[in-house]
Amino acid sequence: MNTFGHRLRMTTFGESHGRAIGCILDGVPAGLAIDEAFIQEQLDRRRPGQSALTTGRKEPDRVEILSGVFEGLSTGTPIAMVIFNTDQKSRDYENVKRLFRPGHADYTYWRKYGIRDYRGGGRSSARETAARVAAGAVAQLMLREIGISVEAGIYEIDGIRAETLDFEHARRSPLKALDPEAEIAQENAVLAAKEAHDSVGGAVLTRARGVPAGLGEPLYAKLDAVLAEAMMGINAAKAVEIGSGVASARLKGSENNDPLTPDGFASNHSGGILGGISNGDEILVTTWFKPTPSIFREQESLTVDGEALRYKLKGRHDPCVAIRGVPVCEAMMALTLADMALLGMGSRMEHLAAIYRR
């Protein structure tokens, strides 16, 4: 169950402090120019250790492509990508070997498997998202060829919400903030939490443009349902909204319906999806992240033997996981849309005839 997607399938592997993490991306059509520099650039956006806002760990996150690319082009065969782990301070984790960190997956992995790689969260570490970003970058390359772009940025941190949505700014900002005005307060909230050995939550808004009407496979691979799965599966995600989301549920039908006009939809409460199928408008998804569970204040918990204890975590952690979640949200959106584009090819007999006409 480490595979995402139907026709474009990413299977990831690896633990935080094992030898490597990586993925196999299967289903990339042949003939796509694989821009390795772009893949690395996306990884660099997720990479820790770049500012005071994120964890101090230093991982070069250098991706190596092992297969599926020949003379710069995809060949239609599986693209395996691997990132070897280098900055593994497993000793940091000796002290958590026998205990369950609150808010972490330590306890649940223990209960499920009866065994766990406790070093840095093992498989449950957000480090795995580097593999998603690498695969997502390939998906973005695919989408570009059909005119689709995907972007994301910080929408809210610690209750401070963006009022303007400037995706250009987000791409340059260390906080990846959508609103240059709100950014200062958001940044201060992160630094204050860090100072207090605590953490804050936030939200990432992901947008796709140029999505043709018709993507999404009802009824059990609806575009919104799969996006919800994709985003909720990111570490620390606790809520997903499509378009106006919760706010839609507080409008009247007459306010929430997006009028359809000869020039397109007059509003976009729907977030570009109706009946689980894209309507041609912008796809908008908001993903809410809880505050990082790894904090450096004294907390109550249990040992693996069931004894209560109070302890203080050590190590290096992000005070706000939402920030580094931005490229991960982009990746999951891109993987989902590329998958849906492949699935959607079979929606009409005329498409089939176009490909196989003789």
Taking CB under 8 A as the criterion, which residues in 74-113 touch a copy of itself?
74-80, 82, 100, 102-105, 107-109, 111-113
195 scored as a contact of a copy of itself (CB under 8 A) = no
Shorter beta-carbon distance to a copy of itself: residue 43 or 203: 203
281 scored as a contact of a copy of itself (CB under 8 A) = no
Site residues for a copy of itself, 218-237, by CB under 8 A, read 218-222, 224-233, 235, 237
56 scored as a contact of a copy of itself (CB under 8 A) = no
Segment lying near a copy of itself (by CB under 8 A), choices 39-47, 86-94, 180-188, 345-353: 345-353
334 scored as a contact of a copy of itself (CB under 8 A) = no
In this structure, what are the phi and psi dihedrals at residue 244, rounded to the nearest 5 degrees?
Answer: -75, -15
Segment lying near a copy of itself (by CB under 8 A), choices 47-55, 168-176, 177-185, 191-199: 191-199
Q: Which of 84, 80, 105, 79 is nearest to 19 (CA)?
A: 84
Q: Which of 136, 216, 325, 327 binds a copy of itself (CB under 8 A)?
A: 216
Q: Are 56 and 64 in contact, with CB atoms under 8 Å apart?
A: no
Site residues for a copy of itself, 241-280, by CB under 8 A, read 241-246, 248-262, 266, 269-271, 273-280
Minimum distance of a copy of itself from residue 315's CB (angstroms)? 14
Distance of CA 158 to the CA centre of its chain: 19
Segment lying near a copy of itself (by CB under 8 A), choices 15-23, 34-42, 48-56, 168-176: 15-23
Q: Which of 51, 67, 86, 90 binds a copy of itself (CB under 8 A)?
A: 67
Sign (positive or negative) of CA dihedral 95, 100, 105, 109: positive
Hey, what are 278's tokens?
């894209």
Cβ-based burial of 138 (10 A; exposed 0-12, middle 13-18, buried ≥19): buried
Write the CB contacts of 195 (distance below 8 Å, at least 6 apart in sequence).
none
Q: Which of 27, 60, 180, 315 binds a copy of itself (CB under 8 A)?
A: 27
Shorter beta-carbon distance to a copy of itself: residue 228 or 331: 228
Site residues for a copy of itself, 143-162, by CB under 8 A, read 145-147, 156, 158-159
Task: Count Cβ atoms below 10 Å from residue 272 Cβ, excluding itself.
Answer: 26
Q: Which of 24, 134, 139, 326 binds a copy of itself (CB under 8 A)?
A: 24
- Measured CA to CA, the distance from residue 154 to residue 330 in angstroms comes to 12
Radius of gyration of the chain (CA): 21
Site residues for a copy of itself, 290-329, by CB under 8 A, read 290-295, 297, 299-302, 306-308, 322
- Measured CA to CA, the distance from residue 217 to residue 223 in angstroms comes to 7
Minimum distance of a copy of itself from residue 8's CB (angstroms)? 8
Q: Which of 1, 66, 77 is nearest to 32 (CA)?
A: 77
DSSP-derived pairing of the beta strands 237-242 and 202-209? unpaired
- Measured CA to CA, the distance from residue 6 to residue 26 in angstroms comes to 10
Hey, what are 287's tokens?
């993903």
Minimum distance of a copy of itself from residue 66's CB (angstroms)? 5
Shorter beta-carbon distance to a copy of itself: residue 41 or 145: 145
Hey, what are 315's tokens?
């190590």
